[in-house]
A = this chain, B = another copy of it.
Amino acid sequence: MLAEACGQPSYTRRTVFRFDVEARDGRARAGRLETPHGVVETPIFMPVGTAGAVKAMTGHELERVGARILLANTYHLMLRPGEALVADLGGLHGFTGWPGPFLTDSGGYQVFSLSQLRRLDEQGVRFRSHIDGSAHLLTPERSIEIQMQLGADIIMAFDECPPFPAPREAVADATARTARWAARSRAAHTRKDQWLFGIVQGGVHEDLRIRSAEGLMKLDFPGYAIGGLSVGEPKCDRDRVLESLDPILPEAKPRYLMGVGTPADLLEGVARGVDMFDCVLPTRNARNGQMFTSQGRLVIRNRRFREDPRPPDPDCGCYTCRTASRAYLRHLHMAREITAAILMTIHNLAFYLDTLRHVRETIRSGCFEDYRCRMTRIFAAPVATDPRDDDPTGS
């Protein structure tokens, strides 16, 4: 009361977005993204909470590993439990209890990768649910409507993501349609407490990418996603596309590389001006027994870990590395214990988030290139292939 009387409200719900690039090292940028649900230091990795939960994690564990912003999938949530239910229960924040910012994708990518009987025309995409076969239509307007109901802090324009490889003409058509759908997405979006990002398409063709980015920039989105990469193209093509977009995309706005990738991919993206990443790799690989460490990848079922008392990553301070040995994790994984998935997911997410913390620190201290070179060598090490690792019986 006193504070308010002094003209300083004791509590102000922040609805103003802001993004500032605060430091640069080469093309790499360290920034600060303010959202209605909190501040995110960039570059950042967003754990994927497909159906409103990051698999094998609780919100508490996500906070403990340093997660700041989560991604949720519009496609999955529109089918189950439905966006109306999520909205009724307070949007993604109220429904899941996650206090920090959310980002939702547009649903377009999943329609093409998961659903059945797709049919695409200028209006949108008709498809059948992979869950129960029910018929649905997703258009730019409908995707934005759903995303407004879900209530994430950052939402995505509805795009068409062509496969790789695809004929140049098909990619050009998809890119042109993505531009038209971006304008329709922009027109359909009315929530002031959400940021809507446009998505650059164009496959591996630099001229299409630049045309796509320039078209979106006329719509003046507050941020730009780079879609259609990490779909099977060579890494050199991805790097080339990012390098072609870096001087085109507005310096002052966040850039989000969708669906990427390994720790090494993240470093390459940061080195080419990317601020935001998401990927299922750390969580999915954890459930399959593969851990990312500061010494390279570790496949826990390998027989040589059977009696290994060391933590997964001696340089990691996460709960798993503080409390569990490789031998224990291997045992739990072989016994198909859920606890194995939990512990390895904790580590992999901590490793990703710690890596990006180091990235931010080294950008600010001007030694990102040293860090990137050193870590890239480590990450490039092939999965350990000790002869004793061949243990098909899993005994």
A residues adjacent to B (C-beta < 8 A)? 51-60, 76, 80-81, 85, 88-89, 95-97, 132, 287, 306-307, 309, 319, 323-325, 327-328, 330-332, 334-335, 337-343, 346, 393, 395
Contacts and interface: CB of A to CB of B under 8 A. Distances in A.
Contact of A85 (B96, B307, B343): B307
Contacts of A56: 338-339, 342
A330 B89 CA distance: 13
Contacts of A80: 331, 334-335
A37 B132 CA distance: 51
Contacts of A52: 328, 331-332
B58 A339 contact: yes
B339 A81 contact: no
A51 B338 CA distance: 11
Nearest to A325: B89
A88 B327 CA distance: 11
Contacts of A89: 307, 309, 325, 327-328
Given A53-B339, A56-B338, A81-B334, 16 more contacts: A51-B332, A51-B335, A52-B332, A53-B340, A54-B339, A58-B339, A58-B343, A59-B323, A60-B323, A89-B309, A89-B327, A89-B328, A95-B328, A97-B323, A97-B324, A338-B338
A331 B319 CA distance: 28
Contacts of A95: 325, 327-328, 331
A300 to B, nearest CB: 13
Nearest to A287: B338
Nearest to A338: B56
Greatest chain B CB density within 10 A among A88, A324, A339 is at A339
Contact of A81 (B58, B60, B306, B338): B306
Contacts of A328: 52, 89, 95-97
B51 A319 contact: no
Contacts of A334: 80-81
Contacts of A54: 339
A86 to B, nearest CB: 9
Contacts of A97: 323-324, 328
Contacts of A306: 81, 85
A309 B94 CA distance: 9
